[in-house]
Chain A
Amino acid sequence: MLDGFSLALTPDEVTVILLSLRVAGWAVVWSLPPAILSAWILARCSFPGKTLFDGLVHLPLVLPPVVVGYILLLTLGTRGPVGSLLYSWFGIRLIFTTTGAIVAVAVCSFPLMVRAIRLSIEAIDTGLEAAARTLGAGSIDRFFTITLPLMLPGVLSGSIVAFAAALGEFGAVITFASNIPGQTQILPLAIYAATQTPDGDAMAARLSLIALVIALAALMASELAANRVKAMIGR
């Protein structure tokens, strides 16, 4: 079935890989601040409706990705309530664009990131923040000098897990951003497309191998980086 299989990547495949890394990278960068904020709210605040907020944050984890993509299409599409405003005010169109793909994978990997960060916030001794208070540090000062450095292991592992998950997102991207080579066709989409073409087996195999290598490398990097950071913050 894989006669004459060669490991050499074609230019199209290189495009797919670079696009995938770019989409996953930006998805992590953009979802990091809201993920830290959500995690902090979930770990430290109590307010009516917290359960609902918790549920909403975790919804993309349990919804079929296709449904997530469809909801994005309804809200952020050019005729959706948010999407139409984005288009008329800023000229931003998300569907069928790389930005759209980034939004789709960011939404889907968001809960994974929040979970990891939340755990690391819950592990912080609030007594340290009280100590910082008595030493004259206001709330923002405390957050950046005590809380944030101490939750770095969670931020790091959350980011890497989210990055790996973003590389594998399929349903939400194909529903919301479609499958356009060079624009929105990230690894899983390209692999799927390759398996649908008569001579695509070798390409599918190579891309799958790449996906496997990236995922494994990400997990190992996560482990190593977490240990480095833990040593750095003295845990």
Chain B
Amino acid sequence: MLDLTIRQRLGAFTLDVSLQTGERGITALFGPSGSGKTSIINAIAGLTSPDEGHIRVDDVTFFDHARRIDLPAEKRRVGYVFQEARLFPHMTVRDNLLYGYRRVRGDRPIAPDPVIELLGLGHLLDRRPRNLSGGEKQRVALGRALLAQPRVLLLDEPLAALDSARKAEILPYIERLRDEMRIPMVLVSHAMEEVVRLASSVALVAGGRFQAFGPVRDVLGRLDTAAAAGFRQAGAVIEAQIDSHDDADGLTRVRFDSGQLLIPRLLRPLGSPVRLHIHARDVIVALSPPTGISVQNVLCGTVVEVAQNAETSVDLKIAVGSSSITARVTRRAFHQLNLVPGTMVYALVKGVSFDPDHHPDGNGGAVVDL
């Protein structure tokens, strides 16, 4: 597991963050450009040194200001996947993959063949990086980082330089790494859909500080973080299970602890967990159970929190059992319906506002595997 507390002056602002992760799973650092996300993982990698604090992975101390420990980057064994891949142009894919592997002393539990298999690199081994597509380059970079037997895997916007098709191609590989490797992973991202799809916990980073840090569902359900999350992408996450498929209508019913939702057909077995990201702007609020409308999904809940994040709109947090969803209504509607905390409401979610095909840039809410 990764445990860090760092303070570091960075030009205009000071990085001041503290973070603990589990021994596996992805922790996402989410925030706008220039908020200090990459600086955090550069400090973990040892490419920069914080002014104060400590960085530990398992029982290895990378950095401890008080104890004057600052392990050089080349001795930390972090796997770092850069946004622009940074493959060595004068080496074949094979030599790139083995560059870190050959430099590890002692045990090397992560062997080349399974990694090459996992990332689908077998046919590329003798090629030069120059002749690879963007997605292939990132897969090689992932494999190269993994084979260095990392104690922690750092992913710096590994998908940002790719178009949607390439992103869709590489996302499953990252999911497999997450699920099959016992390595804590830190993902820097400014794409909400990546975070919802990949991360188990998320830190919202702004101005070098964490606005919020915790499990994805909790952090994204908070109203005060809408600004950090990006106004348009604000929305809550519901963790659910596939309940049944309706092939005739092309729909799938998912169930969560206190309700169910109909979404476009998902090609996943019954019972598999999914995470639904419901954008606040896709939720309509009614005071009485609506009739005669096309919306299939009606959840009954209670307004628990109100936030006036913008000039004309108000965000409502609606508790539905132990889950919650966020709705964005106009300020006028908020006053007309008197949606103060404690009000019983019906939240309407259009089924087609979910996008089952994982478009990381998609405008709709997302349905993702857990």
Contact with A along B84-101 (1 / 0, CB 8 A): 101011110000000110
A130 touches B103 (CB 8 A): no
Interface size on A, residues (CB 8 A): 21
Given A134-B76, A141-B103, A235-B130: 7 more A-B contacts, CB < 8 Å = A127-B86, A130-B73, A130-B86, A131-B88, A134-B45, A134-B148, A234-B128
* Bound Cα distance from A141 to B144, whole angstroms: 17
User: Could you write out 23 A-B pairs with CB less than 8 Å apart?
Assistant: A127-B82, A128-B86, A131-B80, A133-B74, A134-B46, A134-B76, A134-B80, A134-B145, A135-B99, A135-B144, A136-B75, A136-B100, A136-B103, A137-B99, A137-B103, A141-B103, A150-B90, A233-B89, A234-B90, A234-B128, A234-B129, A235-B89, A235-B130
Cα-based distance from A234 to B128 in the complex (angstroms):
7
A-chain residues with CB within 8 Å of residue B46 when the two chains form the complex:
133-134
| Chain A residues within 8 Å of B89, by CB | 128, 150, 233-235
- Specify the main secondary structure of chain A where it touches its partner: helix
Which chain A positions have C-beta within 8 A of B77? 136
B interface residue numbers (CB < 8 A to A): 45-47, 72-80, 82, 84, 86, 88-91, 99-100, 103-104, 128-130, 144-145, 148
- Cα–Cα, bound, A166→B128 (Å): 37
Contact status B73-A133, CB under 8 Å: yes
Let me know if A125 is at the binding interface, CB within 8 A.
yes
Quick check: is A146 within 8 A (CB to CB) of the other chain? yes
Give Cα A145 to B148, complex, Å. 16
- Give Cα distance in the complex from A187 to B77, angstroms: 57
Q: Which residue of B lies closest to A229 (CB)?
A: B90
| Bound-state Cα–Cα, A200 to B104, Å | 68
The answer to whether B103 and A135 touch across the interface, beta carbons within 8 angstroms, is yes
Q: Is the CB of A138 within 8 A of B74?
A: yes
Cross-chain contact B74 with A136 (CB below 8 angstroms): yes
**With an 8 A cutoff between CB atoms, is A219 at the interface?**
no
- Contact yes or no, A131 B90, CB < 8 A: no
Min CB distance, A36 to chain B, in Å? 17
Q: Which of A125, A135, A149 neighbours the largest number of chain B CB atoms within 10 Å of its CB?
A: A135
Beta-carbon contact of A125 and B129 below 8 Å = no
The 8 closest A-B pairs by CB, nearest first: A135-B100, A233-B90, A136-B103, A234-B89, A134-B80, A131-B86, A234-B128, A133-B73
A145-B96 Cα distance, complex, nearest whole Å: 11
Which residues in B have their C-beta under 8 angstroms from that of A130? 47, 73, 86
Chain A 221-235 against B: per-residue CB contact (8 Å), 1 yes, 0 no? 000000000001111
Among A52-88, those with CB < 8 Å from B are none
| Interchain CB contact under 8 A, B103 and A146 | no
Enumerate chain B residues within 8 angstroms of A137, measured Cβ to Cβ: 74, 99, 103
Verify A149–B90 contact, CB threshold 8 A. yes
Question: Which A117-140 residues have a C-beta within 8 angstroms of B?
Answer: 125, 127-128, 130-138
| A150 (CB) vs chain B CBs: closest residue | B90
CB distance from B260 to the nearest CB of A (A): 46
Contact between chains at B74 and A146 (CB < 8 Å) = no
**In the bound complex, how far is the Cα of B45 from the Cα of A127, in angstroms?**
13
A133, A149, A233 pick with most chain B CB within 10 angstroms: A133
Contact with B along A170-189 (1 / 0, CB 8 A): 00000000000000000000
Rounded to whole Å, the gap between the CB of A77 and the closest CB of chain B is: 45
> In the bound complex, do residue A127 and residue B88 qualify as a contact, i.e. CB atoms below 8 Å apart?
no
Check if A136 sits within 8 Å of B88, measured CB to CB.
no
Give chain A residues whose Cβ lies under 8 Å from the Cβ of B104.
136
Within residues 88 to 135 of chain A, which ones have a CB less than 8 A from any CB in chain B?
125, 127-128, 130-135
Contact: B86 with A125, CB < 8 Å?
A: yes
Interface string of A132-161 (1 = CB under 8 A from B): 111111100100011001100000000000
Instruction: Please pick, from B47, B82, B128, B148, the residue contacting A136 in the complex, using a CB distance under 8 A.
Output: B148
Which positions 169-222 of chain A face chain B at CB distance < 8 Å?
A: none
Contact of A132 among B72, B76, B99, B129 (CB under 8 A): B99
Compute how far the CA of A196 lies from the CA of B116 in the bound complex, rounded to whole angstroms: 72
Minimal beta-carbon separation of A146 from chain B (angstroms): 6
